[in-house]
Amino acid sequence: MNLYRVNPESDVPIYQQLADAIYADIKSGKLPAGTKLATVREMASQLKIAHGTVKRAYDELKKMGAIDMTQGRGTYISYRPETTESKKERAMAAIEEMLNRLESLGISPMEAKIFIDLKLREKVRLSKAISLALVECNPEMLYQLDETMHKFKNVETYQYLFDDILKYPYKIGEEMDVIVTSANHAKDLGEIIAEKDKIIKVALNLVPRTIMQLALLEKGHTVGIICQSERFAELLREVCSLYAPQINVSQPWLLDGDGDCGAYLKGVDALLVPEGYEKFCGQKDAKLIQKFAGKHMVINCAYQIDQGSFIYLEERISGLQAKRNIDQSK
């Protein structure tokens, strides 16, 4: 049994002193989950204080979610260290509460997304980080662009689908320091964004590993395509005609569409998926693809920014960081 002390001369109420001392032991791990605490009577006797004072301390701990008090069983520690999953659950609950509040104000989901984005950008601006917008016409390419940006320090990235920018051009606005897009969209963006000098046009190429794997596909085999967007599926079809003309390409299967992924996989000999496909599909479909990969070739189609574009982007970001006196080593 842990021995606690209280100071009757302190300005802090005795029940609070006891609750704080026990909670400190819980947080430090001295009292792990499942540990049984002394009964109210035992604790009161040990500290020579009133039963009601101990009961109030235990009640406070219960409100905090630190202990469970069950009639006939006793008082046990219930607190467990916070996990990533619990953080996610609490964050999702907070977001849902905020969205419900915005809905009650007559704000549509699209408007809510825009306003939240604006607020996030404001925070980034105050934090000195370089704000970088990524614009592409499909989520698969956006994901791969974002992965590349992780090489830069003190940079906050924001992903935008090209069609959304055309509808809501103010989503990028003045808050962005740099806007990265492919050559296909740079001209159109320049027509709707006032600060054209922020736009950096980059060339995106298939990584050599993907090209080599495409060349290894056997002649006459039927190759499937699983991805999220029709635009990326069309891109992979073009890639197949260029690097693997010897194969038959099946009608693509989109992750957000109807149908059975398992049934689709039974009709193909090999499979093309975007790099990071796990981010776009549910757990069930991911497991089916992984199982398929055990006996068949699955090619993760990855794109990268060409060396010249990357060097230019790196120079622009470094220049902005130098102007703001941002430590690039952190």
Residue 330 has pLDDT above 70, yes or no: no
* Same domain? 72 vs 99: no
Compute the distance between CA of residue 49 and CA of residue 21 in angstroms, rounded to an integer.
15
- pLDDT band (50, 70, 90) for residue 219: very high
Tens digits of residue pLDDT in 144-188: 999 888 888 888 888 889 988 887 776 676 678 899 999 889 888
- At 300, phi and psi to the nearest 5? -80, 110
Name the residue range of residue 329's domain: 130-203+305-330
Integer CA distances (angstroms), 266 to 227, 234, 236, in order: 17, 22, 20
pLDDT of residue 314: 92
H or E element, residue 96? helix 84-104
CATH number at residue 136: 3.40.50
Total domains in the chain come to 4
Tens digits of residue pLDDT in 182-216: 988 988 888 888 788 899 999 999 999 999 999 99
Residue 1 has pLDDT above 80, yes or no: no
- pLDDT band (50, 70, 90) for residue 220: very high
The 3 state secondary structure assigned to 138-201 is: CHHHHHHHHHHHCCCCCEEEEEEEHHHHHHCHHHCCCCCCEEEEEHHHHHHHHHHCCCHHHEEE
* Same domain? 199 vs 321: yes
Tens digits of residue pLDDT in 258-305: 778 999 999 999 999 999 888 888 888 889 999 999 999 999 999 999
Closest by CA position to 131, among listed 198, 55, 33, 229? 198
* Same domain? 221 vs 94: no
In the listed set 93, 110, 127, which residue is the last one of a domain according to the structure? Answer: 127
CATH number at residue 66: 1.10.10.10
Closest by CA position to 35, among listed 72, 69, 75, 73? 75
pLDDT of residue 106: 87
Q: Report yes or no: 248 and 221 within 8 Å, Cβ to Cβ.
A: yes
pLDDT of residue 243: 95
* Same domain? 312 vs 164: yes
What pTM did the predictor assign? 0.59
* Same domain? 199 vs 312: yes
Residue type, 139: P
Coil, strand or helix: which one is 265? helix
Question: Residues 88-107: what's their mean pLDDT?
Answer: 82
Q: What is the arrangement of strands in the sheet containing 155-161, beginning at the earlier edge strand? A: 155-161, 130-136, 178-182, 199-202
- pLDDT band (50, 70, 90) for residue 135: very high
* Same domain? 310 vs 196: yes
pLDDT of residue 191: 86
